[in-house]
Amino acid sequence: MMPNAAAAGIEAIRRDPNFPRLKSMVIDATGLAYYADKDAAFAERINRRLPFGSIATVGGYLAALEAEGPAGAEYQGLINELAVGETFFFRYIEQFDALRAVAIPECLRRNQSSRLLRIWSAGCSIGPEAYTLEILLKQHFASQLDGWQVHIVGTDINGAFLEQARRGAYGDWAVRGLSPETLDACFDRQDKLWSVKPKYRQWTSFMPFNLVDGSIPSYPHGIGHFDIILCRNVMIYFDEATRHRLLGNLHKALADGGWLVVGHAEAGPQMNELFIPVSVPGATLYRKQAEPAAPAMADRGTPPRPAAAPAPLLKSRRAAAPAPDAAPDPALRPAPRARKVTPAATPPAAPTPPDTAETNERSTVLEACLARVEANRLDPGAHYQLGLVEEELGVGDPVAAFKRALYLDPRFVLADYHLALAYWRRGRLVPAQRHFRNAREALEIRPDDEAVAEGGGLTVQELRGMLDLWLTGEEG
Ligand SMILES: C[S@@+](CC[C@H](N)C(=O)[O-])C[C@H]1O[C@@H](n2cnc3c(N)ncnc32)[C@H](O)[C@@H]1O
């Protein structure tokens, strides 16, 4: 189709009276509320699918999808168009470091008698997260895992992503940032692709699974009783209610004492209601409470209290911006104290009620931010930082804090970006869209490699890519 004809087709789809129903049906089936305020991007995806067979109208398309349901071939084809699959090997390396330092050793101790380790990469896209786990386990725990049964299952709603995951061969983008040594150790070069070495593909398998449709745990699918679940950069595309439901389901799908890892931007206050946050430098893992009936095991299995690192939040104003599927620099987030975690090797401390300790720490961080604002009322960075902390803790008025930062410095592009995210999380899609657009426009004439202010090394080009993803659904 010629570009003008395509644009006219997309516009006609947007204006079709059946368009809103089609969109809400697909969002219900996939959880992808991300498209709620992205009519143009959604219509463009529909346009790619039309004409579908003999059907060339939105009403006909809607009826066909309704008739076949989300498992049908055309529905799947549409989902393949809609899902955002950005991923790469060792993404957020600090989370893998945390698994290696804390969670995996704990699982090995806890499962010593069963010799079974089960890990789920939920929303695995084309598979790097799952293979990264196998590489990590084989490189660091090979001897301890000798004689164990290890299962790493990657699931996704997108069948095309899963096919590539099973092939295990990737272009340069998926392995970006890996050292030549890691590339050499983990991949075979085949044509222009990086193919995961067979020895790192023995424990990993992939299968389709819709995280918002049907029950979890789903024992017929082998989804349940996991020691570790990674569900990163998936919930960010869902609305609050879906995210809440999914978190409850992931909690049920974990073994007692099991560990959950989410994307940095996905850790909201409700995480702390269900899980015990365990802070390690650079990352927070979330742990399901171990069975109360087995306190001795749980205590033995609990990691030593890692050095929580709330200080950088207060010392530094540099914050990395989250991608739609990324987050503020974790080092800058208040690391909530690991509640109810008893360090195995420390003498019993004066019994502080855990909730009080956590509350104290939160209020210390918050108070420090407020004090900084008080002392530097005209410093946009102070207001911005307060906004980040308030958003993270679910207190105060982060929207107002980001607005103040922008008022003081209208060119403060990350304040625009975080204001947009804050609006988005509150379902305020119109102002969210406006601030994403403002941020995007502000970056238009800036050099690609310029560092974004307060971005912790984030470049203009990287932030543009993130914004494009939000604005158009297209990866840069
Ligand atoms: C941005 S990728 C994240 C990949 C990987 N977890 C990471 O962090 O690198 C998001 C993935 O979630 C998947 N997804 C979206 N909605 C889903 C759903 N309802 N059920 C299962 N997977 C879903 C998408 O297909 C996509 O592959």
Q: Is 106 in the pocket of ligand 1 (CB under 6 A)?
A: no
Do both 261 and 152 map to the same domain? yes
Q: Domain of residue 24: give its range.
A: 3-82
The whole-model pTM stands at 0.65
Band of residue 244 on the pLDDT scale cut at 50, 70, 90: very high
Q: What is the pLDDT of residue 289?
A: 87
Ligand 1 binding pocket mutation candidate from 82, 88, 156 (most atoms within 8 A of CB): 156
Sign, CA dihedral 129-130-135-140, equals positive
The reply to whether 123 and 264 lie within a common domain is yes
Is 87 among the domain residues? Answer: no
- Tell me, using a 6 A CB cutoff, whether residue 438 lines ligand 1: no
Bond preceding residue 51 cis, omega within 30 of 0: yes
- What are the tokens at 380? 């946009």
Contacts of 82 (CB under 8 A, 6+ apart): 26, 30, 32, 35, 42, 45, 473
pLDDT of residue 300: 28
End-of-domain residue from the set 82, 109, 127: 82
Ligand 1 center from residue 224 Cα (angstroms): 18
Among 331, 355, 371, give the residue marking a domain's end: 331
Residue 305 in domain: yes
Which stretch of DSSP H or E encloses residue 151?
A: strand 149-156
Same-domain pairing of 210 and 172: yes
Q: Tell me: do 45 and 112 sit in the same domain.
A: no
Residues 350 and 324 occupy one common structural domain:
no
Domain edge (last residue) among 61, 82, 103: 82
Whether 325 lines ligand 1, by a CB cut-off of 6 Å, is yes
Tell me the per-residue pLDDT of 168-222, one tens digit each, with 9 for 90 and over: 999 999 999 999 999 999 999 998 999 999 999 999 999 999 999 878 988 888 8
Whether the CB of 266 sits within 6 Å of ligand 1? no
Please identify, by atom number, the ligand 1 atom nearest to the C-alpha of residue 213.
19
Is 75 among the domain residues? yes
**What is the crossing angle of helices 398-408 and 413-425, to 10°?**
160
Distance (angstroms) between ligand 1 centre and the Cα of 30 equals 10
Banded model confidence at residue 340, pLDDT cuts 50, 70, 90: very low
Q: Residue 427: is its pLDDT beyond 80?
A: no
* pLDDT score, position 385: 87
Tokens of 91: 């993404």
Here the CATH number for the domain that contains residue 410 is: 1.25.40.10
* Rounded Cα gap, residues 88 and 69, in angstroms: 31
Q: What is the pLDDT of residue 180?
A: 95
Q: What is the tally of structural domains in the chain?
A: 3
Are 217 and 299 contained in the same domain?
Answer: yes
Q: What are residue 119's DSSP bridge partners?
A: 152, 228
Residues above pLDDT 90, as percent of the chain: 53
Contacts of 3 (CB under 8 A, 6+ apart): none
Q: What is the largest CA-CA distance in the chain?
A: 74
Distance 471 CA to ligand 1 centre (A): 18
Instruction: Tell me if 123 is assigned to some domain.
Output: yes
Atom of ligand 1 nearest to the CA of 79: 25
55: DSSP letter? B
351 and 287 inside one domain? no
Q: Is residue 235 located within the same domain as residue 353?
A: no
Q: How far apart are CA 215 and CA 213, in angstroms?
A: 7
- Which of 48-52, 58-62, 211-215, 390-394 has the weakest average pLDDT? 390-394
Residue whose CA lies nearest to ligand 1 atom number 7? 87
Shared domain for 296 and 314, answered yes or no, is yes
* Cis ω before 17 (30° cut-off from 0): no
CA-angle at 171, arms to 168 and 172, nearest 5°: 125
**C-beta of 232 in contact with ligand 1 (< 6 A):** yes
Q: Which residues pair with 193 in a beta bridge?
A: 190
The β-bridge relationship of strands 169-170 and 193-196 is antiparallel
- The response to whether residue 123 sits with its C-beta less than 6 Å from ligand 1 reads yes
- Give the number of C-alpha atoms closer than 13 A to the C-alpha of residue 309, restricted to the C-beta side: 14
